[in-house]
Amino acid sequence: MAREIQRSLFADPLPQSPLARPPQPEPVAPALVAAELHTLAARLPADVHLGTSSWSFPGWTGLVYAPRQGKPESEQRLARGGLAAYAQHPLFGSVSLDRTFYAPLLASEYAAYAAAVPDTFRFVVKAPAAITDPFKRGGNSGLVRGDNPTFLDAATAAAVCVAPAVAGLGAKLGAIVFQFPPLGRAFLTDVPRLVARLVAFVTALPRPRTDGLPDGPAIALEIRDHALVCEALAAGLVDGGAIPCLAAHARMPPLEAQADVWRLDRFPLSSPLVVRWNLHAGKDYEGAKQEYFPFDRLVEEDLQTRDSLARLVRTQARSGRTVLVTINNKAEGSAPWSVRRLAEEIAGGN
């Protein structure tokens, strides 16, 4: 089963002779950013890594990317070649690799991403849905088409996600996030049993070590069910050597409430704080996408979440913990602007 889902999103190119090889495309250029953003970045704690969910948004032209021939870059060019320009933005020290949620990557693909960013950059890798969704789903419809045999299969997760990410990213791997969808009534009727399955899964995951990751990769669980924000799962994650990924999401309790239940001080300081600011309260993804597109400005600020997140980041950074925060365009309308406003609030409280 692991071999069946270990595949690249892009087919390997056919071999070409040097004469037939097409010229390399012009690289994506970073936008010119104001000096004040460099000053702001210098005021952030060194181990705070802020970033966005993916980077391939033409609407970020002028914010993150320079126009090419007076026009925004295409989504395709940004997806394939925009990461190096993204990583030159002074406030971006992290990114969530979201494409890995839909299909796993090879170690060589991770290595290519790692080569595009500075040594201080950290990736948040989303594990494939083939591990975290209990059901097989059909195409874009999302309709359930049967049970998923690789749900919570630690051996498959190790082969298609953990091992390639560690080998390809090395020290630039910040965390691997296993994001679970709302699991539904059939699972939540027996929360203790579900918690036991989740804990058994993270405990069984190998933690391959490298020179860059002497303790192995950080394994984080991100959930979408209130009932699973509980003491039993928190204790189980500690025992299993994993951590929670706090999710700012319309389905979830406020960040401070999540932090209170998880009691972050129980987790070793060598493990990072991982937060993903996904979705504005009261919104669904499709509605927010339509309302906020093309993601070039803040449409609907969420001051409460921003304030809570800034205080949480400052507290954990002062304790000596590495912090990884990635923000989706659907949080407030434009992830680059959300990162900037969050950075201002974090720095203003120091």
Domains of the chain plus CATH, in order, are: 28-348 (3.20.20.410)
What percent of the chain clears pLDDT 70, i.e. is strictly above it?
91
Q: Worst-scoring range by mean pLDDT, 79-93, 126-140, 148-162, 279-293?
A: 126-140
pLDDT of residue 17: 36
pLDDT of residue 8: 36
Q: Worst-scoring range by mean pLDDT, 12-16, 217-221, 287-291?
A: 12-16
Query: Per DSSP, which regions of the chain are E strands?
Result: 48-53, 94-97, 122-126, 135-138, 143-147, 173-179, 219-222, 243-248, 273-277, 323-327
Q: Worst-scoring range by mean pLDDT, 149-153, 279-283, 295-299?
A: 279-283
Q: Report pTM.
A: 0.91
Instruction: Please tell me whether the peptide bond between 294 and the residue prior to it is cis, using omega within 30 degrees of 0.
Output: yes
pLDDT higher than threshold 60 for residue 35:
yes
Q: Worst-scoring range by mean pLDDT, 280-284, 299-303, 325-329?
A: 280-284
pLDDT higher than threshold 70 for residue 224:
yes
Dump pLDDT digits (tens) for 239-275: 999 999 999 998 999 999 999 999 999 999 999 999 9
Q: Name the more confident of 282 and 243.
A: 243
> What is the mean predicted confidence (pLDDT) over 176-199?
95
DSSP, res 212: S
Helices and strands (H and E) in the chain: how many: 16, 10
Q: How far apart are the first and last CA of the chain?
A: 49
What residue has token string 């705070």? Answer: 48
Dump pLDDT digits (tens) for 6-17: 443 333 333 333
What residue has token string 């996600």? Answer: 161
DSSP, res 266: G
Dump pLDDT digits (tens) for 116-169: 999 999 999 999 999 999 988 766 656 777 788 999 999 999 999 999 999 999
Dump pLDDT digits (tens) for 321-333: 999 999 999 999 9
pLDDT higher than threshold 70 for residue 1:
no
Check if the beta carbon of residue 36 is closer than 8 Å to that of residue 339: no
Q: Which amino acid is at 56?
A: S
Check if the beta carbon of residue 244 is closer than 8 Å to that of residue 258: yes
pLDDT of residue 282: 85
